[in-house]
Amino acid sequence: MLMRTDPFRDLDRLTEQVWGWNGRSRPASMPIDAYRRGDSFVVQFDIPGVDSESIELTVEQNVLTLKAERSRPVSEGDEVIMSERPWGTFTRQLFLGETLDTDHIDAHYEAGVLTLKLPVAEQAKPRRVAVTSGESRKAIDV
C-alpha cells in the first residue's frame, strides 16, 4: 500500500472546492526543446503517457497548435490516495515564421516525445545571384 504524509492535503482539498480545480482544469505543462538542424527546425514536446491517437496537430495562419489528452488511470469507485501526475487535455501553440514550409511538417511520436521537423521554405534558403559589372560576371552569396 502506498502512503504519504501531506501536511497540505486539507489546503489542496479546500482550494479544489473553492476554485473548482481538479485534474482536468488545473494547468499542465508541456515542455519543449527547439533547435535548427541544417535546413530544418526540430521541435520536441514532452507528452509522456499520451496515446498517439489523441494527438491533434494543426497549422493555421502560421500558428501551430498541439493538443493531446492523457486519460486518468483510475476507475469509478477507486479511492485516490495520491494524484500528482497531470491528466486531461494539454494544449500548446507556437508561432511559426514565414520562412518555414508548413505544408511539409514531419511528426513522429515515440517514448513520450513528439518530434516535429519543419523544413525551411525553398524561397527562404540562401541562393547565389549573378552580379554583372561591365563585361565580367561574378556570383555572390546572398
How far apart are alpha carbons 120 and 20 in whole angstroms? 44
What is the number of other CB atoms lying within 10 angstroms of the CB of residue 66? 21
**What is the three-class DSSP state of 79?**
coil
How far apart are alpha carbons 73 and 67 in whole angstroms? 19
> Model-level pTM?
0.68
How far apart are alpha carbons 78 and 55 in whole angstroms? 27
pLDDT tens for the 142 residues of the chain, in order: 344 455 555 665 555 555 544 544 444 568 999 999 999 999 999 999 999 999 999 999 889 999 999 988 888 899 988 888 888 888 999 998 888 899 999 999 999 999 999 998 877 677 788 888 876 655 566 6
Q: Residue 86: its pLDDT value, please?
A: 82
How far apart are alpha carbons 65 and 36 in whole angstroms? 20
Q: Residue 109: its pLDDT value, please?
A: 97
Nearest to 65 by CA among 104, 28, 102, 21: 102
Q: Residue 122: its pLDDT value, please?
A: 76
Q: Residue 16: its pLDDT value, please?
A: 55
Q: Residue 118: its pLDDT value, please?
A: 94
What residue ranges define each of the domains in the chain, with the CATH number in brackets?
Answer: 29-73+85-141 (2.60.40.790)
